[in-house]
Amino acid sequence: MDQLASKTLADVYMKQGHFQEAYEILKSLSEKDPADVEVRMKLEEAKEKLGLPFFQLRAPASPPEEKIKALEEWLANIRKREKTRGDAVHRVRLNSARRLLDAQSLDGLLFSGLENIRYLCGFTGSDGALLVTRKDSFFLTDSRYWTQADEEIKGSQTIHYKKKFDGIASLLSDLKLKTVGFESAVLTLSSHRALKENLAADVTLVPLENETKNLRAIKDTQELELIKKAIDISSRAFQHIIAMTREGVVEKDLALEMEFFMKRNGADVLGFDIIVASGKRSALPHGKASEKRIAKGDLILFDYGLRYQGYHSDETCTAICGEPSPEQQKIHQVVKEAHDKAIEMVRPGIPIRDIDAAARDHIRDCGYGDYFGHGLGHGVGLNVHEDPFVNADSKDLLQEGMVFTIEPGVYIPDQGGVRLEDMVRVTAHGAEVLTTLSKDLHVI
């Protein structure tokens, strides 16, 4: 029985007063996915109904045959509705991609980047291609992924091939497409050459880069739910690790424990190598965890993120071992004020470069302008770094539904650094801060 069916059956048992049966199902689900907050809450409710830990558990009773049949039919209908909902979500996304066809005078769009393929049709494997036309869309893959594609693809037809570029060329020929756009930032030169060699002479491949970069910039409800789940796991990982941080602990040991916690609690993989950089090393914006031991007076920069069901989190907190010096307090205060000023400016229609300027100008005015060199932030979603990029070079405007980081920092060589990073979502009324941890200086 799949996860959705198990959750639904547990709900049925709870409503009918079969708390023992509900408890057994929820306990199993919680063990499989400890990060599922909804399951944990329902499990606690079942425990309360049973009076655990004092209640003497009995073996689950088998429901009558007719009840099983009715539940199976009900669950089948629920699964059908869930698939329909998934198809509808992906159809909306595909239609947003189709707008490029008219805008660029194209007959079709060929996607080879795995993030865009997953976004548009649901495929989570490591190889394939997606062709979008005005009326249809086709996912193409080889025998390694036929079964997986049958299970995952939503809103698109699946085409099997033996050789990738032969299969793509054959489909383009069958559909009589003459002008086809492709992701020029993804398709390698050698792959482009191989594809071109298989195409008819009258087929033109049109490179697209900026035209496709904003395709995933605005997050829908389904995406936002997964991003929040990723943030929940990573937030708990930081709370776990900060309690273990003290003088004498090795940076690498903290990073490793944090990784274990994330994966034990539902993370697919790390979003990037966890940064734990202390003392002078905290002035390295991307200083990976080392063998250095944390010492009294060290600033400690923690930058961490993970991927959950394809979607990422990204957050940075700064701590101090012992009481901070006046200079360390001042640097933190300046960065915190820059961080807050940028968040206050977030709303639809604002030039993205103005958000960067709000933080950068404040840091410069406080005398630390030479020590803040990177952009203010970046989009987060299926990639941990994606559009929109929040920097002084951006020519884009903020749009409602965008999700990105705000992460100003000051890094003084041979002294140390402070960075504070939150993920925010643009709403009609301003910024919704998705990450929940305090950006005060964590004193340990």
Please name the residue that has the structure tokens 């952009």. 375
- Mean pLDDT computed over 100-107: 95
pLDDT confidence band for 381 (50 / 70 / 90) = very high
Q: Is residue 279 part of a domain?
A: yes
Helix, strand or coil for residue 287? Answer: coil
Q: Is residue 439 part of a domain?
A: yes
HSE-CB of 74 using CA atoms within 13 angstroms: 14
Residue 47 sits in a domain whose CATH number is: 1.25.40
Residues 107 and 135 sit within 8 Å (Cβ to Cβ): no
Q: Is residue 131 part of a domain?
A: yes
Q: Is residue 76 part of a domain?
A: no
Examine the domain organization and report whether 121 and 56 are in the same domain: no
- The pLDDT of residue 257 is 97
- The pLDDT of residue 66 is 65
- Mean pLDDT computed over 324-351: 98
Is the pLDDT score of 244 beyond 90? yes
- Compute the distance between CA of residue 440 and CA of residue 444 in angstroms, rounded to an integer: 12
- Compute the distance between CA of residue 250 and CA of residue 224 in angstroms, rounded to an integer: 35
Residues 396-440 pLDDT 10s = 999 999 999 999 999 999 999 999 999 999 999 999 999 999 999
- Compute the distance between CA of residue 436 and CA of residue 181 in angstroms, rounded to an integer: 41
Extract the tokens encoding 225. 């739910």
Q: What is the domain count for the chain?
A: 3
- The pLDDT of residue 45 is 82
pLDDT confidence band for 283 (50 / 70 / 90) = very high
- Mean pLDDT computed over 239-252: 97
pTM of the shown model: 0.81
Examine the domain organization and report whether 317 and 417 are in the same domain: yes
- Domain with 301, as residue range(s), is 221-443
- The pLDDT of residue 86 is 57
- The pLDDT of residue 102 is 92
For the chain, what percent of residues have pLDDT higher than 70? 90
Is the pLDDT score of 55 beyond 60? no
